[in-house]
A and B are shown apart, each in its own frame.
Chain A
Amino acid sequence: MTTRIDTRFAELAKQGRSAFVTFLMAGDPDPATSLEIIKALPKSGADVIEIGMPFTDPMADGPSIQAAGLRALKAGMTLKKTLELVRGFRKDDNATPIVLMGYYNPIYIYGVDKFLVDAKSAGVDGLIIVDLPPEEDNELCLPAMKAGLNFIRLATPTTDDKRLPAVLANTSGFVYYVSITGITGAAAADTTAVSEAVARIKRHTKLPVCVGFGIRTPETARAIASHANGAVVGTALVDALKNSLDAEGRATGKTVNAVAELTAALAQGVKGAQQAAE
């Protein structure tokens, strides 16, 4: 079965360029502004959209994304509303892939079967669940595949050649390579090491490999994108959003543009890599 993710990466491969993947938190800083922001992303050059599902205890995230989740929760965001956000986005855009990223507990509490049905019908294409390694595939990964959703696995610098086949076994859509050992928004990725790691993963899979964690600028995005099938930026976009808020953490007239402008600049960086790669 082909998902929007498969279609999008196939198109990009034809064009000979890498994907620009954005991450923002659902409901940050409030549900209405969040929908406007997500809607603005494809126009600004995002090829794939990751949407964070807010959680109180995001163990793999740095301070920026932790704070984004708390802003969203404070604004009343729930998993149900995150699915409504996706549904709202799909009214105008039936091509851009949407990947939900987060932690397992809210999905477990929502009910796995119900969640998969609702996510699919809302227009979600894939899931990245940080705290579900292959050892727990029965929980959500296998049911998600059956439901026609991609389950996108994280591979990390600690995932050695011996372990990679297990990590890749039930992965579909793309592979998300976490470029550093650490939390989101931490140190910048080392391009040489990333390029070697991507090559290593590609020896084990035909899936596209996107790289995230530590990419903040158009320059880094370009450098990374020339060695991978996609570059993911999250914290820098979340920071741009946060810097546009008023003193009480509410959206201002600048909020949507602040995210759209940085998205456009980063997308230019990734497109620059296209020429480098050709």
Chain B
Amino acid sequence: MNIAKPNSYRSGPDDRGHFGNFGGRFVAETLMPLILDLDKAYTEAKADPAFQAEMNGYLKNYVGRPSPLYFAERLTEHLGGAKIYLKREELNHTGSHKVNNVLGQIMLARRMGKKRIIAETGAGQHGVATATLCARFGLECVVYMGAVDVERQQPNVIRMEMLGAKVMPVQSGTRTLKDAMNEALRDWVTNVHNTFYCIGTVAGPHPYPTLVRDFQSIIGNETKAQMQEIEGRLPDSLVACIGGGSNAMGLFHPFLDDPSVEIFGVEAAGHGLTQLHAASIAGGRPGVLHGNRTYLLMDADGQIQDAHSISAGLDYPGIGPEHSWLHEVGRVNYLSATDDEALAAFQLLSKLEGIIPALEPAHAIAKVMELAPKRPRDHLMVVNLSGRGDKDVPQVGDILRGKK
């Protein structure tokens, strides 16, 4: 395919929410006025210094930012190539990058006078972050979670409930993240007047992919400044895992126009790309779901297929539309890691660095294990450690003891 290279990779989307051929606003008419309201409210908030100042206050003192950029010395020695830095998003309050976006959206909801917050969640990290900020600001919180995920991410279900959120197990479809998103949309269409839908990733109808990206871009902006301070230059490569792709987009976006920086997104290859997996770019094609056009896993009739990943947070048959565009224009390289590779990386990082990663960023670490040894020792590689692995300890423990 012949696709013209843009002058900048950071100017999108257009005013109708398109990144090239991707994105858009494919929603029911009932929701359309709400999405236009949100777009307007976000545009106003972005231009309001008070909004940014208030958010910065909470980012510093409540979330605990900036998150460290940590030189993973033993992992670097072990792999014997690139110098590996971990962007420590798992040290944020609530244990993942999700809180960056939720804080922004909750502050928007408050500006818009919405008192009831709904969210979908896969691994439960977005649900926990949403429940946390709803508790902090005294808002009603309802979290939709696939029944399969409720089962495999029990620690996060308990956390959400302790924080006062109502967790609704979703029994429809494949009972995972995509069905949770369907159910959240059904709730929103029903409770339009008082409800704000806090989407957890860079997907959904415009303006969600943009506003989530903007709130997550603090990851890349901090990384740029921190690397400048530590090494006096830009990193040479970035690596991040991708389900919907918000941690990746947050890290990547500030670097898209720095041509010397190689960028790698890692999708979940599940049991392998020829079997059940969740790698939309590697194994899917463009289609329309959940409000946007993007790469999706589907059959010949356009029916959405089941995704599979060991990681509930990556278990989604789509990907954010901006990633689809970055893939087509060739700016980002999309790779994939299997369940087994992620499990090996999970154990390696735990043992070498004393950091138990979530299964999601373990996929990114798995590709670092392949990429780093092939790079010279002065190559600076940043991997986004997007979440901590506490939630996965029971599941991984069972697998390692041969119970599952």
Size range of the chain A interface in the assembly:
35 or more
Is A59 touching B287 in the complex (CB atoms < 8 A)?
A: no
**Given the contacts A105-B302, A110-B302, A158-B34, A131 and B27 also touching, CB distance less than 8 Å:** yes
Docked-complex contact B186 and A178, CB < 8 angstroms:
no
A11 interface contact, C-beta 8 A: no
- Is the C-beta of B20 less than 8 angstroms from some C-beta in chain A? no
- How far apart are the CA atoms of A136 and B206 in the complex, in Å? 12
A155 at the binding interface (Cβ < 8 Å): yes
Q: Contact at A181–B192, with CB atoms within 8 Å?
A: yes
Report whether B34 and A133 are in contact in the complex, using a CB–CB cutoff of 8 Å.
no
Instruction: Pick the interface stretch among A35-43, A159-167, A247-255.
Output: A159-167
Of all chain B residues, which has the CB nearest A130? Answer: B28
Contact partner, B298, options A54, A109, A135, Cβ 8 Å: A109
Residues of chain A from 37 to 63 with CB closer than 8 A to chain B in the complex: 54-60, 62-63
Q: Are the CB atoms of B30 and A158 closer together than 8 Å?
A: yes
Q: Answer whether residue B70 sits at the interface, using C-beta atoms and an 8 A cutoff.
A: no
0/1 per residue, B302-338, Cβ < 8 Å to A? 1110000000000000000000000000000000000
A-contact bits for B259-301, CB 8 A (1 contact / 0 none) = 0000000000000000000000000000111110100101011
The answer to whether the Cβ of A183 comes within 8 Å of any Cβ in the partner chain is yes
Cα–Cα, bound, A149→B27 (Å)? 22
Evaluate whether A154 and B28 lie within 8 angstroms (CB atoms) in the complex, with A109-B302, A159-B33, A181-B192 already known: yes
Q: Which of chain B's residues have a CB closer than 8 A to the CB of A59?
A: 28, 182, 185-186, 189, 290
Give how many B residues have a beta carbon under 8 Å from the other chain's beta carbons: 37
0/1 string, A88-112, CB within 8 A of B gives 1: 0000000000000001111111100
Asked if A207 is at the interface of the complex by the 8 Å CB criterion, the answer is no
Task: Establish whether residues A133 and B190, one from each chain, have CB atoms under 8 Å apart when the complex forms.
Answer: no
Instruction: Bits for A156-193, please: 1 = Cβ < 8 Å to B, else 0.
Output: 11111001000100000000001001110010000000
Q: Decide: A183 near B34, CB < 8 A? Known: A106-B302, A135-B16.
A: no
Q: How far is the CA of A166 from the CA of B221 in the complex (A)?
A: 40
Q: How far is the CB of B177 from chain A (nearest CB, A)?
A: 12
CB contact between A108 and one of B16, B186, B191, B287 (< 8 Å): that residue: B287
Which A residues lie within 8 Å of B30 (CB)? 60, 154, 156-158, 178, 181
| Contact A60/B32 with A78-B301, A109-B301, A182-B190 known, Cβ cut-off 8 Å | no
Question: CB < 8 Å: which of B172, B189, B290, B298 contacts A182?
Answer: B189
Q: Residues 77-118 of chain B: 1 if any A CB is under 8 Å from the residue's CB, otherwise 0?
A: 000000000000000000000000000000000000000000
Min CB gap A75→B, angstroms: 13
CA distance A133 to B190 in the complex (A): 18
Q: Is A274 an interface residue (CB 8 A)?
A: no
A73 interfacial by beta-carbon distance below 8 Å: yes
Give a binary string over A63-94; 1 marks a CB under 8 Å from any B CB, 0 the rest.
10010000001000011100000000000000
Binding site for A on B (CB under 8 A): 16, 24-34, 172-173, 178-179, 182, 185-186, 189-193, 287-291, 293, 296, 298, 300-304
In the complex, 7 of the A-B residue pairs with CB atoms within 8 angstroms, ordered by the A residue number, are A57-B182, A60-B185, A105-B296, A136-B25, A154-B29, A156-B29, A163-B32
